[in-house]
Chains A and B, each alone.
Chain A
Amino acid sequence: MTTELKESLIQHFNTLEKTPSSALLVDTRKEAISAFQELGFPTTKHEEWKYTNLKNTIAKTYAIESAATFSAEDIKTLTALPIDCYKVIFVNGIFSPSLSTIDAAGVTIEPFQTSNQEVVKNYFAKNLPYNDSMVALNVAFATAGTLIHVKAKQHVAKPIVCFYLSDVRSANVFAQPSVLVVVEEAASATVVELNRSLGSNTAFTNAFTHAILKKEAYLEQYKIQNDIDNSNFVHNSQIVHEGKSNSYTTTITLNGGLVRNNLNITLGAEHCEAYLNGLYLEKGAQHVDNHTLVDHAMPNCYSNELYKGILDGKSTGVFNGKIWVRKDAQKTNAFQSNKNILLSKEASVHTKPQLEIFADDVKCSHGATTGQLDPEAMFYLRARGVGEDKAKKMLVHAIAFDVLDKVKHDELRAYLEQEIEERLK
Chain B
Amino acid sequence: MLSIKNLHARIEEKEILRGINLEVKAGEVHAIMGPNGSGKSTLASVLAGRSDYEVTSGSVTLNGKDLLDLSPEDRAREGVFLAFQYPIEIPGVSTINFMKTAVNEIREYRGQETMDAVSFLKLMKEKMKLVEIDESLLKRALNEGFSGGEKKRNEIFQMAMLEPSLAILDETDSGLDIDALRIVANGVNKLKTPNNATIVVTHYQRLLDYIIPDFVHVLYKGRIVKSGTKELALELEEKGYDWIKAEADAQTV
Q: How far is the CA of A394 from the CA of B141 in the complex (A)?
A: 12
Q: How far is the CA of A382 from the CA of B51 in the complex (A)?
A: 12
Is B88 engaged at the interface, CB distance under 8 Å to the other chain? yes
A382 contacts B76, C-beta separation under 8 Å: yes
Residues of the A chain whose Cβ atoms lie less than 8 Å from the Cβ of B87: 380
B92 contacts A402, C-beta separation under 8 Å: yes
Residues of the A chain whose Cβ atoms lie less than 8 Å from the Cβ of B90: 377, 380-381, 395, 398
Q: How far is the CA of A384 from the CA of B98 in the complex (A)?
A: 9
* B interface, size bucket: 20 to 34
Kindly identify, within residues 370 to 425 of chain A, every residue whose CB is under 8 Å from any CB belonging to chain B.
374, 376-377, 379-388, 390-391, 394-395, 397-399, 401-402
Decide if the interface of chain B is mainly helix, strand, loop or mixed.
helix
Residues of the B chain whose Cβ atoms lie less than 8 Å from the Cβ of A385: 73, 76-77, 102-103, 105-106, 109, 162
Residues of the B chain whose Cβ atoms lie less than 8 Å from the Cβ of A386: 73, 98, 101-102, 105
* Partner pick for B98 among A376, A381, A402, CB 8 A cutoff: A381
Q: How far is the CA of A383 from the CA of B80 in the complex (A)?
A: 8
Residues of the B chain whose Cβ atoms lie less than 8 Å from the Cβ of A382: 49, 71-73, 76
A384 with B88: in contact, given A379-B72, A394-B93, A395-B93 (CB under 8 Å)? no
Count residues of A near B (Cβ-Cβ below 8 Å): 22
Kindly identify, within residues 67 to 119 of chain B, every residue whose CB is under 8 Å from any CB belonging to chain A.
71-73, 75-77, 81-82, 84, 87-88, 90-93, 97-99, 101-103, 105-106, 109
Q: Which of B72, B81, B91 has the most CB of A within 10 A?
A: B72
Residue of B nearest to A381 (CB): B98
B98 contacts A394, C-beta separation under 8 Å: yes
Is B129 engaged at the interface, CB distance under 8 Å to the other chain? no
Is B50 engaged at the interface, CB distance under 8 Å to the other chain? yes
Residues of the A chain whose Cβ atoms lie less than 8 Å from the Cβ of B92: 397-399, 401-402
A387 contacts B91, C-beta separation under 8 Å: no
A383 contacts B82, C-beta separation under 8 Å: yes
Question: Shortest CB–CB separation between residue B127 and chain A, in angstroms?
Answer: 14
Question: Shortest CB–CB separation between residue B21 and chain A, in angstroms?
Answer: 24
Residue of A nearest to B84 (CB): A380
Question: Shortest CB–CB separation between residue A64 and chain B, in angstroms?
Answer: 44
A383 contacts B101, C-beta separation under 8 Å: no
Residue of A nearest to B78 (CB): A385
Residues of the B chain whose Cβ atoms lie less than 8 Å from the Cβ of A394: 93, 97-98, 101
Q: How far is the CA of A362 from the CA of B99 in the complex (A)?
A: 45
Residues of the A chain whose Cβ atoms lie less than 8 Å from the Cβ of B51: 379
Residues of the B chain whose Cβ atoms lie less than 8 Å from the Cβ of A397: 92-93
A387 contacts B73, C-beta separation under 8 Å: yes
Q: How far is the CA of A382 from the CA of B87 in the complex (A)?
A: 13
Residue of A nearest to B99 (CB): A384
Contact with A along B169-206 (1 / 0, CB 8 A): 00000000000000000000000000000000000000
Is B165 engaged at the interface, CB distance under 8 Å to the other chain? no
Q: How far is the CA of A386 from the CA of B106 in the complex (A)?
A: 8
A380 contacts B88, C-beta separation under 8 Å: yes
Is B48 engaged at the interface, CB distance under 8 Å to the other chain? yes
Q: How far is the CA of A212 from the CA of B75 in the complex (A)?
A: 59
Is B158 engaged at the interface, CB distance under 8 Å to the other chain? yes
* Partner pick for B48 among A383, A387, A398, CB 8 A cutoff: A383
Q: Which of A380, A390, A397, A401 has the most CB of B within 10 A?
A: A380
Q: How far is the CA of A387 from the CA of B70 in the complex (A)?
A: 12
Q: How far is the CA of A394 from the CA of B142 in the complex (A)?
A: 12
* Partner pick for B105 among A376, A383, A390, CB 8 A cutoff: A390
Of all A-B residue pairs in the complex, the 7 with the closest CB atoms, nearest first, are A398-B92, A385-B76, A382-B72, A401-B92, A385-B106, A380-B88, A384-B102
Q: Footprint of B on A, CB under 8 Å?
A: 374, 376-377, 379-388, 390-391, 394-395, 397-399, 401-402
Q: List 17 A-B contacts (CB under 8 A).
A: A377-B90, A380-B88, A381-B98, A382-B72, A383-B49, A383-B73, A383-B76, A384-B76, A385-B77, A385-B103, A385-B109, A386-B73, A386-B101, A395-B90, A397-B92, A401-B92, A402-B91
Task: Using A374-B88, A394-B93, A398-B91 as known contacts, list a sample of 11 further A-B pairs with CB atoms less than 8 Å apart, ordered by residue number in A.
Answer: A377-B90, A383-B50, A383-B73, A383-B81, A385-B73, A385-B76, A385-B103, A386-B73, A386-B101, A394-B97, A395-B93
